[in-house]
């Protein structure tokens, strides 16, 4: 049985989705900007993937935020 995603993974997933939508990017568009595969971005947004620091940095650059903003819970 698969363990549920960690709280931090859920925070990153929510932030990536929120920021992507705010920039009116599709998952495919964000993937292209970050140099990642579209299905990988979808898995990130579903909190299914455990991101490396390199990919957090790539996503942050594509979303025009700092890596810390992807890791910080928003309300």
6-47 tens-digit pLDDT: 999 999 999 999 999 999 999 999 999 999 999 999 999 999
Cα atoms found within 13 Å of the Cα of residue 8, Cβ hemisphere only: 7
Over residues 50-70, the mean pLDDT reads 97
User: Terminal CA-to-CA distance of the chain, rounded, Å?
Assistant: 31
Neighbours of 21 (CB within 10 A): 11
Q: What is the pLDDT of residue 75?
A: 72
Q: Are 13 and 44 in contact (CB under 8 A)?
A: yes
Please give the domain boundaries of the chain with CATH numbers for all domains. 7-65 (1.10.260.40)
Q: What is the pLDDT of residue 4?
A: 83
Q: What is the pLDDT of residue 5?
A: 87
* Backbone phi, psi, residue 47, to 5°: 60, 30
More confident of the two residues 31 and 75? 31
pTM here?
0.93
């Amino acid at each position: 049985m698969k363990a549920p995603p960690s709280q931090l993974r859920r925070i990153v997933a929510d932030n990536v989705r929120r920021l992507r939508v705010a920039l009116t990017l599709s998952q495919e568009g964000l993937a292209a900007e970050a140099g990642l595969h579209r299905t990988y971005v979808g898995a990130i947004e579903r909190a299914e993937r455990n991101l490396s620091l390199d990919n957090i940095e790539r996503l942050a650059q594509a979303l025009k935020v700092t890596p810390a903003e992807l890791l910080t819970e928003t309300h």
